[in-house]
Amino acid sequence: MPFDESCIVPPFYATGTAVARLSLWAIAGWRVRGREKVPRSGPLLVVSNHLHFTDPPIVMASLPRRVVFMAKEELFHHPLAWVVRGVGAFPVRRNQLDRTAFKRGLEALEAGLAVGIFPEGSRSLSGSLKSGLPGAAFLAAHAQVPLLPVAIQGSPQLHGTGWLRRPSITVTIGDPFALPHGNGRVDREQLDFLTDFIMRHIAALLPTTYQGLYQEGTGDH
């Protein structure tokens, strides 16, 4: 069954991203590096580090095309769930292989959309990259689509922001890349390798002190 694009309300998405951009310009020193690297059409898996609950709208505001996010299931039981649904996000159950969510992700990619996912699975409280979960690698390996690495810095500073304190937020977009092992079938060992491969592409966009487990020269890669 094809992805139901009717779940995305274009005027709602456009308004939401416009509000996000205006807010970032007004209350933060917001910079986007590498926007020209984003493919303007075709299936794309956007993979980013995760620091703050504002990261999804920050990514949406920073990329020059619509991104459909996999979002934690809890958000769909929140009073603002209508906002999450209005921008086309779909739920994923964390800490397990949610086949329904990944089926929807595959369908969205087959429809030529950009799908956003945070491979760490939850926010990093330290700011450094946590160990990546296999979901992004599983989806990318099956979909056989390019991935776009994105690194966010500074978003936790938005907490308690006022007009007199403008935090610096930088979004760095890397070059699209493809996974090795292009047969679409992966075992657990390959999945671990591909997860590491994805996380190192994100880490390469961050300062060394925030690369966590994925600092150059650490681990096998």
Residue 85 pLDDT exceeds 80: no
pLDDT value at residue 1:
47
* pLDDT confidence band for 165 (50 / 70 / 90): confident
Could you please report the per-residue DSSP string of the chain? ----GGGB-HHHHHHHHHHHHHHHHHHSEEEEE-GGGS-SSS-EEEEE---STTHHHHHHHHSSS-EEEEEEGGGGGSTTHHHHHHBT-EEE-TTS--HHHHHHHHHHHHTT-EEEE-TTSS--SSSSPPPPPTHHHHHHHHHT--EEEEEEESGGGGTT-BTTB--EEEEEE---B--S-TTS---HHHHHHHHHHHHHHHHTTS-GGG-GGG-TTSS--
**pLDDT digits over 173-183, tens only?**
999 999 986 55
Q: pTM of the predicted model, to two decimals?
A: 0.87
Residue 186 pLDDT exceeds 80: no
Residue 217 pLDDT exceeds 70: no
Residue 189 pLDDT exceeds 70: yes
Q: What is the mean pLDDT of residues 18-27?
A: 90
Identity of residue 114: A
**pLDDT digits over 44-53, tens only?**
999 999 999 9
Distance CA 52, CA 47 (A): 15
Residue 75 pLDDT exceeds 70: no
Residue 152 pLDDT exceeds 50: yes
Which domains are assigned to the chain?
A: 5-157+166-214 (3.40.1130.10)
